[in-house]
Structure 1
Amino acid sequence: MQQDALQELVNIGVGQAAGTLNEMVQSHIALQIPHVRLLSVLEAEKQLQKQLDGEPMSAVQLGFNGSFSGVAQLVFPTASALALVAILTGEPLDGPDLDSLKISTLNEVGNIVINGVMGAIANTLEQYLEYDIPVYLEDTISHLLYNQVSADDAILLAETRFEIQQLQVTGNIILVFRVGSLDALLYALRIP
């Protein structure tokens, strides 16, 4: 029941983020979250390594503090990230300006999606959160996770599909809750 409630909260946030992105780019962007899983750091790393096969990743990361604390990341395989940037900016994939647009565009998308999800969680559960400034990173999933987490943290993993004009771009929303923060989140759900 807790996982279903978390899934619904993430879906609400992603729906709000999709609406904002649609307005920004004057195009229909559908964001789908097939499923949400609660994992340990080790389980999350194994799952993401299997799925991503060690390829380099592009990530937007946003720290959060308040009623619960941790780090939220929107993570894409680098090829998916470039495809998303090309679509959102209208720049061709082999365009000379694509690299310079990548960081600012992905930071904006990450900020919208992560704030949508975290805002839905905080507002629905009537909890207080503060956010850091989004940061763009490129690295393997192992480094992206282990530079931000401790072994006792808990991870909420949501696979995200961006569907734009029949092109599917897949990424992951990774919410890392510091020790004790997941318990506070689950308590706020008020589901046994």
Structure 2
Amino acid sequence: MKLTLSHIDALQELVNIGVGRAAGVLNDMLASPIQLHIPEVRLLTPEELKRELKTQFNDGLLATVQLSFTGSFSGTAELVFPTESAANLVSVLTGEEPGTPDLDVVKIGALLEVGNIVLNGIMGSLSNALIEHLDYSLPAYSESKVSNFPIFAGIDENTRILLAHTCFIIEQLHISGDIILMFTIGSLDALLKAIDLAFGEAL
């Protein structure tokens, strides 16, 4: 099924709604308000995504929270940070200074919570707006370089991936990361058909 500019606009709107809801939840967790901005949503091949991540992060170490989903459409949703941004975000969430001995344990728990809030907000926005039921796995945390990124393991070259670059703004602290939605073969078509049904002639 052909992806149109109207599909991209609809997806961006739905992702923005989900991110907005997530920001509201995160605001309640923090002493300082947090803003999440998503400037654009793009559809990429696995090879294009790999080039994009290498351009953005070089081959640095990335902290990733992954949430798998199944239902009318299935795949994985990932929230990806450079480890430095992850540590900065955790220090704001926990009040601990980066580099304390127990930061690794705290970091994983805090990032899993943030990832769960953001990714569930986005996928919930998609499923609610499109009236499609989805089931979710428990979020999982990992660290890897772009060259060894788990999302590329055994991936079909025909898979299409939605990439949304986001920026977490906490006072003057800018923390950059990416939201990656990867759909199994055929699931993107199912998603686009659901968008057509939900938005009708607007597309």
Q: TM-score, normalization: structure 2?
A: 0.91
Task: Give the whole-Å Cα distance in 2 for the aligned partners of 1:156 and 1:100.
Answer: 30
Q: CA deviation at 1:5?
A: 0.7
1:50 aligned residue: 55
Task: Give the whole-Å Cα distance in 1 for the aligned partners of 2:91 and 2:125.
Answer: 28
In the alignment, does 2:165 pair up with 1:154? no
2:95 partner letter: G
Rg larger for: 2
Q: CA deviation at 1:97?
A: 2.4
Match of 1:81 among 76, 79, 86: 86
Task: Give the whole-Å Cα distance in 1 for the aligned partners of 2:156 and 2:66.
Answer: 16
Match of 2:96 among 81, 88, 91: 91
1:121-146 Cα distance to aligned partner (Å, 9 max, x none): 01001111000010000002242321
Classify the secondary structure of the residue corresponding to 1:68: coil
- Structure 1, unmatched stretches of 5+, are none
In 2, are the aligned partners of 1:58 and 1:139 still within 8 Å (CA)?
yes
Q: CA deviation at 1:55?
A: 0.5
In the alignment, does 2:54 pair up with 1:69? no
2:181 aligned residue: 175
Task: Give the whole-Å Cα distance in 2 for the aligned partners of 1:128 and 1:42.
Answer: 30
Q: CA deviation at 1:40?
A: 1.1
1:157-183 Cα distance to aligned partner (Å, 9 max, x none): 000100012100000000000000111
Classify the secondary structure of the residue corresponding to 1:152: coil
Q: TM-score, normalization: structure 1?
A: 0.96
1:112 aligned residue: 117
Task: Give the whole-Å Cα distance in 2 for the aligned partners of 1:156 and 1:164.
Answer: 25
Task: Give the whole-Å Cα distance in 1 for the aligned partners of 2:64 and 2:71.
Answer: 23
Q: CA deviation at 1:79?
A: 0.5
1:138 aligned residue: 143
In the alignment, does 2:41 pair up with 1:23? no
1:47-90 Cα distance to aligned partner (Å, 9 max, x none): 11111111110000010000100011000001100110011100
RMSD over aligned CA atoms reads 1.2
Q: Give the number of aligned pairs.
A: 192
1:41 partner letter: P
Q: CA deviation at 1:148?
A: 6.7
- Structure 2, unmatched stretches of 5+, are 1-5
In 2, are the aligned partners of 1:91 and 1:97 still within 8 Å (CA)?
no
In 2, are the aligned partners of 1:71 and 1:148 still within 8 Å (CA)?
no
Task: For 1:36-47, list aligned pairs within 5 A.
Answer: 36-47=41-52
Task: Give the whole-Å Cα distance in 2 for the aligned partners of 1:113 and 1:183.
Answer: 24
Q: CA deviation at 1:25?
A: 2.0
In 2, are the aligned partners of 1:41 and 1:154 still within 8 Å (CA)?
yes
Q: CA deviation at 1:109?
A: 0.3
In the alignment, does 2:38 pair up with 1:33? yes
